[in-house]
Amino acid sequence: MHDESIGNFSAFRREWVVRGRRFDDGQVEVTVDRFDRYVGCQGLNLMPRAKRGESENGEQNLADAAKRAKQQVRLRCKAIGADRMITLTYHENMTDKARLKRDFDAFRRRLSKIQDFHYVAVAERQKRGAWHLHIAVKGRQNYRVLRSVWGRVIGCENVRVHVRNPFKEKGLRHKLASYIGKYITKEFGEHSLNEKRYWTSKGVAVPERQSIAHLVGDSPVDAIRTAYRAVEFVGGTFDRCQVFWNEALGCFWLSTREV
């Protein structure tokens, strides 16, 4: 009978890594990730991986790419302090995604000549096949200007432009960031593996994630406690915070509102 432990030594070791980042407006994100190490063969992690797009599990690759893009959308929305969402639509059933990209490029260029325009934009395809665009921005927007610029770009006077804050309570930017990020994974099959899933203005600086703690043990309790203490240490608030825990994946995520 094969025994994978000798005395007090075990070939397997469970580790928990706690990391976090703090945004300029005081929002804090802290994560806890589980790693199960095979101590005797850690070098296996150095084996070459298949190139992107070459794996047999193409659908899983697309899903993973969508999750990574969703994270980047959320982080960039927080970095620009987004608290409003603009939705650009077409009067007709516009199904050409390439045209959507061209029209948005023209829209943002024209708008940038009038005002500072910092954005994170995500396309969504409706059930009828039509594309429209969700754009996260900061601050109050001039609806007449938006409507005029979009109308000129698409050559239509009867244009549809919506500006709203899905979370009207002040200070819930972290919820808006998560809200707009959901469109990334809504229909990830609409995108190819290497296709850009979102568009963002240049110069958006996302704070680097910092290492907080590295713990060894089977239980995540100490690691999660460490995550909460880290938020308290930097003055974060737990009022209306967001928390996610997946025991199977060994993943904990905590996001606070701005201070």
In a domain, 96, yes or no: yes
**Are 108 and 173 within one domain?**
yes
DSSP-derived pairing of the beta strands 28-38 and 242-246: unpaired
Is 70 among the domain residues?
Answer: no
CATH classification at residue 161: 3.30.70.260
Output the pLDDT for position 188.
Answer: 56
Cα–Cα nearest to 153, from 113, 96, 99? 99
Residue 67 inside a domain? The answer is no
- Rounded mean pLDDT of the chain? 85
Residue 29 belongs to what H/E stretch? strand 28-38
| Angle of the 97-112 helix axis to the 143-154 helix axis, nearest 10 | 130
218 in any annotated domain: yes
Question: Looking only at Cα atoms, what is the longest distance across the chain?
Answer: 79
Which whole number is the average pLDDT over 237-241? 92
Q: Is-contact 84 140, C-beta < 8 A? A: yes
User: Are residues 120 and 29 both part of a single domain?
Assistant: no
For the stretch 120-158, pLDDT in tens is 999 988 888 889 999 999 999 999 999 999 999 999 877
151 and 195 in a single domain? The answer is yes
Residue 209 lies in a domain: yes
Vertex 205 angle, CA 204 and 209, to 5°: 140
Mark which of 182, 200, 218 sits at the end of a domain. 200
Count structural domains, the chain: 2
Residue 36 lies in a domain: yes
Domain limits for position 85: 77-200
User: pLDDT tens, 48-94?
Assistant: 555 554 555 777 777 777 788 889 999 999 999 999 999 999 988 89
Q: Is the Cα torsion angle 136, 142, 147, 152 positive or negative in sign?
A: negative
Q: Looking at the structure, do residues 44 and 129 belong to the same domain, yes or no?
A: no
Together in a domain, 162 and 96:
yes
Q: How confident is residue 47, by pLDDT bands cut at 50, 70 and 90?
A: very low
pTM recorded for the entire structure? 0.81
Say whether both 210 and 195 belong to one domain: no
Residues 11 and 83 in one domain: no
In a domain, 166, yes or no: yes
CB within 8 Å of 213: residues ≥ 6 apart: 16, 17, 18, 223, 226, 230
Q: In the listed set 156, 184, 200, which residue is the last one of a domain according to the structure? A: 200
Check whether residue 148 and residue 126 sit in a common domain: yes
* Cβ 132 vs Cβ 126: under 8 Å: yes
112 and 49 part of one domain:
no
Contact 67, 178 (CB under 8 A): no
Same domain, 195 and 209: no
Residue 68 counted as domain residue: no
Claim to verify: residue 159 and residue 113 sit in the same structural domain: yes
86 with 195, same domain: the answer is yes
Distance of CA 138 to the CA centre of its chain: 17
- Domain final position from 162, 181, 200: 200
